[in-house]
Chains A and B, each alone.
Chain A
Amino acid sequence: MSNLLQVRDLHVTFVTPDRTVNAVNGVSFDVRRGETLGILGESGSGKSVTLRSILRLHPEHRTRWSGSIKLEGDEILTMGRGALSDLRGQRVAMIFQEPATAFDPVFTIGHQIAETVRRHTGKGEADSWTRARELLEMVRIPSPAQRLKAYPHEMSGGMRQRAMIALALSCNPSLLLADEPTTALDATVQIQVLLLIRELQRELDVGVIFVTHDIGVAVEVSDRIGVMYAGKIVELAPVEQMVDAPRHPYSRGLLASTVHDGMRGRRLEAIPGAPPDLAEVPTGCSFALRCKFVQSNCVARPPDLREVGGSHLVRCVLVDAQEAGVAA
């Protein structure tokens, strides 16, 4: 399968007069056509920043980038204005956590979707409304013809989120970025939207990057999961391997501390402490301070992302040592 998106050694630093934030510190991954990559991380892990970098949504004047993001071979980080605006919406689309902010409250849903279709494809008035209707059907909104005439505030949260997905897919993007799109939704609605994204991804054969803090959600939608911590991917593996045999102490801690069935009455295995400050680039492993397996060589230099078989990548000296032991 060909690589749709290739991210290599991405660094993103925000510089304000008050402080510097090293939000992303060397992230590399690929997304193939027709695959969903889940990026799992807690607040401040850099997951959203990574995602937004793909569309270069950060304010240019206070953001420093390095590395490379290539979509179908085209470098995004050095792209000019024109190419960038073609990229946004047409080749890469994004859905957000809060659908209310993605729509203009004074226009109907239909108007806004048709408008986007017209702008990007040059279709006529009637054609673009037909397309808008098809899109609403595609995201399983009941009685789409009437819904086209609805204003955003007249729709429930779940419907708005579906409409936003329709808007995002209106120009047949090859890559769909999802930034916690179900976090604000109720449980019974969340699962509907998750299933919808999964089905659409298969139907339309798009690549999806799905950012979430919820392991359960990531497991439901992802083919592969990347776990981020302090601006780095610490582990990247196919979803089964990630759930069955996580190798990085952070991934293991995260899975162990997530409450689920059958944990009642048992003490939770919490990870002590809090994520590090991102003002400075750490000299060693960023997780070392909270890790129960910490050794002296953890803080010496940042560990590399190492392949441990079957496209399972881990960034940990412990795993390095184990692999070396196996090899020897």
Chain B
Amino acid sequence: MAIQSPTVDIAAPLVRPTVASASRGYWPSVGRRLRRDPVTLVCAGVLLLIVLSSIAAPLLGLADPYKTSMIRRLYPLGSPNHLLGTDELGRDMFARLIYGGRLSLFMGVTPVVCALLIGGILGITAGFVGGKINMAIMRVMDVFYAFPSVLLAISLSGALGAGTENTLLSLTLVFIPPICRVSESVTTQVRGFDFVDAARASGASALTIVRVHVLGNVLGPILVYATSLISVAIILAAGLSFLGLGVKPPEPEWGLMLNTLRQAIYVNPVLAALPGVMIFITSICFNLMSDGLRAAMDVKA
């Protein structure tokens, strides 16, 4: 966790100089640590590339991702005009992968952001207020927790019916409990620090205390955790599409593409694996980046 009381460490007996030195805030020091972490930097770069190319896809002069062609089906990689070949309906793979990123990333990020808002507010409330409210909120979350996230997502999507909105809704519901639980635990931890008691003793309102003293200390760990959930969300969204519970054809989406290219696995296995490779790269980058952020933010001040 980002906030810790001084622990026993060989540097602990170090007493800081009393001479004035340039004061560094917390975030600048996190930035400094990140700049010295090549893995995180590379991952962030790759993600930036994927995100930017998805957003700017219409401007890149790619082939039409929806245009099918019966004669150009399943071209292998490296074909002229089709750098990454074509899919089972003769659509350009490169264009579909880039365009697919738009939906896949959207489906990965949106539910996490929504869940972050709802779960974060619930968790911070539960952690800060404590007592019966905490009990009520956390026991409800435990009910959701009882189901494995994949099963929960599938059953919710199944009940709500296929479609982008329903997938987003079910994924949001899936991610609220874990985010809520993490928010609750870090808030409870911060709540126990004397500086929160000191703030309470000053007569400030609960909202002011949360805004000034709690948020700054809990947001970091919660965001790091949420980042690591994005990769899960991408995989789950792709999984739902693969099962026909998410995005409907002909929309390009990595999970759905993986499904439709399934038949081609014996004809052109490399081609069939391409959407999977994209999912893999994106989610591993999110995971490594979240690890890097965690390490950079874990400053024993």
Contacts and interface: CB of A to CB of B under 8 A. Distances in A.
Is there a direct interface between A and B, measured as CB atoms under 8 Å apart in the complex? yes
Interface string B251-280: 000000000000000000000000000000
B140 interface: no
Interface in A149-199: none
B292 to A, nearest CB: 15
A277 B17 contact: yes
B13, B15, B18: most-surrounded residue (chain A CB, <10 A):
B13
A276 interface: yes
B13 A277 contact: no
Interface in B9-25: 10-11, 13-18
Nearest to A47: B13
Interface of B: 10-11, 13-18
B10 A21 contact: yes
A44 B10 contact: no
A274 B18 contact: yes
A276 B16 CA distance: 8
Contact of B13 (A19, A44, A58, A63): A44
Interface in A210-267: none
Interface in A32-89: 43-46, 48-49, 58-59, 62-63
21 contacts: A14-B11, A16-B11, A19-B11, A19-B14, A21-B11, A23-B10, A43-B13, A43-B15, A44-B13, A44-B14, A45-B13, A58-B10, A59-B10, A273-B18, A274-B18, A276-B15, A276-B17, A277-B14, A277-B15, A277-B16, A278-B14
Contacts of A277: 14-17
The majority secondary structure among interface residues of chain A is loop
Nearest to A278: B14
A46 B14 contact: no
Interface string A289-318: 000000000000000000000000000000
Contacts of A274: 15, 18
A26 interface: no
B15 A44 contact: yes
A275 interface: yes
A90 to B, nearest CB: 25
A278 to B, nearest CB: 6
B17 A14 contact: no
Contacts, number: 36
A23 B17 contact: no
Interface residues of A, number: 21
Contacts of B10: 14, 21, 23, 49, 58-59, 62-63
A24 to B, nearest CB: 11
Nearest to A41: B13
Contacts of B18: 273-274
Nearest to B299: A18
Nearest to A43: B13
Nearest to A273: B18
Contacts of A48: 13
Contacts of A46: 13
A199 B195 CA distance: 44
B11, B14, B16, B18: most-surrounded residue (chain A CB, <10 A):
B14
Contacts of B16: 277
B14 A21 contact: yes
Contacts of A45: 13
A62 B13 CA distance: 16
Contacts of B15: 43-44, 274-278
Which 6 A-B pairs rank lowest in CB-CB distance, beginning with the nearest?
Answer: A44-B13, A277-B17, A44-B15, A275-B15, A14-B10, A274-B18
Contacts of B17: 276-277
Contacts of A21: 10-11, 14
Given A44-B15, A45-B13, 9 more contacts: A14-B10, A14-B11, A19-B11, A19-B14, A21-B14, A43-B13, A44-B14, A59-B10, A278-B15
A212 to B, nearest CB: 14
A18 to B, nearest CB: 8
Contacts of A63: 10
A278 B15 CA distance: 8
A16 B300 CA distance: 14
A251 B58 CA distance: 77
B11, B15, B17, B18: most-surrounded residue (chain A CB, <10 A):
B15
A97 B160 CA distance: 59
A273 B16 CA distance: 12
Contacts of A16: 11
A274 B16 CA distance: 9
A258 B18 CA distance: 23
